[in-house]
Structure 1
């Protein structure tokens, strides 16, 4: 008797894809569907009726893949996801990639081989073609990140606008030399935040100094290391915008290590508004993302797709907020020392 795995091998797909084709799932591309059906015909495959009936049942389980479970930013998102899932009788299985592209791909491959109802990706670092492929096999929603050029359901904020607002906040305080610590540039939201930073400088006709743009990895250590580099520049930047709060805290640590003060010597602003922002001194000015709401919206969207309901909006953009605290206070001296303006915002 021919087995499903033999059909999958001939069609160059996973067994779960063969299963979805045979159950007329809409989450399979037409090209893949035809390839599977040709393999079924060639091998004269006869589906097992009992197994077919089991596959039509819902597992009431969804998988959520996160880039770094140790980052407190994702805990609120996960809480929103789980609250909605629980209310609807679903279970959440968590996959933590540890920011590893290989692990992200491994989790997606594992999902293909297991019986789950849907997938939420809070990380999208693998090739966009691979994300498109899995989205054609099962319900998929992206949370925080998105894939350019593809109509995959997404919940996020406008990272370009948010980063532009953060940079302009520093500019409005009088800063002209603003360092920027990016996140990993293989991540689309890092590139978007860099775009927002550049836009703000261009809009205010401030020259962009490439030496003041350095790539971090979202860790406290990378923020510390890059800030030490900035402080070695002559003259150093008077303000620094970090692409997440953990790197901003690392930058603050480096400034203090050099015997300087935040915000009197260097202003610092972060991104995300994690609890750590109010535990450091001075408290950190940052861009707040609606983390819990992102989780709620992403899970609600996924469950609608699973139930076959039509989505009114496939790309949801939630509002961000600039949270002004103490880390951007700034003593602005005009050339010649004639005017001193004390600003603490």
Structure 2
């Protein structure tokens, strides 16, 4: 089976007996072409099987109809859900999306950006912003490329994220109500706003109750199960009297559960564990895990809509979405009051 050559505007113009520019205006919906002529040209185009060439249209209009999305890794459930929401909203707004994984590597982030700009994306959703100096955001600003941050935020930049300080407070409030005073935090990387803000909210809530959480009980980690395991192991070795752990995401919390087991502790009985994001797996663990719920899908949708407004020339203020707490067996059986 052979693939036929694409139908050109010149062929349609020849069949309709008009100039090629008239065909172009008629198919684009531009003014200056009579209604009857437009109807006739479109009928001929349908008959011939004409399909617009997106690349040619992008060169002509300087619009590609594509948005770039850069995230640390799409294998992460949270980031996949954010992307799903963004792609859904982008489609509704008439855009397609290109997505790239950065693996939180500064050089790879810039490479992804350059390749997407070469594909003429109109703007970016950035899901991997860094607190330790963000060269990618600086490059976009220098070039005047529109962008909105999702997942992580930076002060002074348009963003749609969860109110992670409040989410940390929710976790702290829950453990305080259960009587916990000897707590530890699996804090994640220091260059990630979500980790820093969740830790800050948690520690702040304890401090407001007159219970300071010393630095020795706050352990940086990688944001995965392996990192959570290693950080919890260090915390429980250093402070064996800890009765509760808060981890900055659910995968780190699952790793912390493994470390607690290795230290002879039983989650839900003599140690409480709270995660963050409330991924579906939490409810199906051997001991269902308490977690702060982050509205991931809505974050992606709202981020794409915000980027659309930026592309239209609007000023977009940072948006903080409300987290909630999903209480399960990993904490409710470990009251110390």
In which range does the TM-score fall when normalised by the shorter chain? Answer: 0.7 to 0.9
TM-score of the superposed pair, with normalisation by structure 1? 0.76
Name the SS for the 2:278 alignment partner. coil
Larger Rg: 2
Structure (1 or 2) with the greater helix fraction: 2
Ranges in structure 2 where 5+ consecutive residues have no aligned partner: 1-55
Asked if the contact 1:230/1:236 (under 8 Å) is kept, the reply is no
Shift of 1:55: 6.2
Structure 1's 115 and 204: CA in aligned 2 closer, same or farther, altered over 3 A?
same
Equivalent of residue 134 in structure 1, options 122, 140, 146: 140
Name the SS for the 1:262 alignment partner. coil
Structure 1's 145 and 283: CA in aligned 2 closer, same or farther, altered over 3 A?
same
Equivalent of residue 244 in structure 1, options 240, 243, 249: 249
1:60 pairs with 2:65: yes
Match of 2:154 in 1: 147
Shift of 1:331: 4.2
Asked if the contact 2:178/2:334 (under 8 Å) is kept, the reply is no
Structure 1's 234 and 129: CA in aligned 2 closer, same or farther, altered over 3 A?
closer
For 1:329 and 1:290, the matched residues in 2 are separated by 23
For 2:215 and 2:94, the matched residues in 1 are separated by 51
Shift of 1:169: 0.8
Name the SS for the 1:237 alignment partner. coil
TM-score of the superposed pair, with normalisation by structure 2? 0.77
Ranges in structure 1 where 5+ consecutive residues have no aligned partner: 1-50, 334-340
1:195 pairs with 2:203: no
Equivalent of residue 332 in structure 2, options 321, 329, 332: 329
**Count of paired positions:** 280
Structure 1's 252 and 58: CA in aligned 2 closer, same or farther, altered over 3 A?
same
Asked if the contact 1:182/1:213 (under 8 Å) is kept, the reply is yes
Q: 1:201-240 deviations in whole A, cap 9, x for unaligned?
A: 2101113222211011111011111222222235331000
Equivalent of residue 88 in structure 2, options 83, 89, 97: 83
Equivalent of residue 310 in structure 1, options 310, 314, 322: 314
Match of 1:115 in 2: 120
Asked if the contact 1:122/1:144 (under 8 Å) is kept, the reply is yes
Asked if the contact 2:86/2:304 (under 8 Å) is kept, the reply is yes
Q: 1:173-208 deviations in whole A, cap 9, x for unaligned?
A: 000011000111011222112211221121011132
Asked if the contact 1:128/1:147 (under 8 Å) is kept, the reply is no
Root-mean-square deviation over aligned CA pairs: 2.1
Name the SS for the 1:281 alignment partner. coil
Structure 1's 193 and 55: CA in aligned 2 closer, same or farther, altered over 3 A?
farther
For 1:194 and 1:235, the matched residues in 2 are separated by 21
Within 5 Å, which residues of 2 pair with 1:141-290?
A: 141-148=148-155, 150=156, 152-290=157-295
Asked if the contact 1:242/1:269 (under 8 Å) is kept, the reply is yes
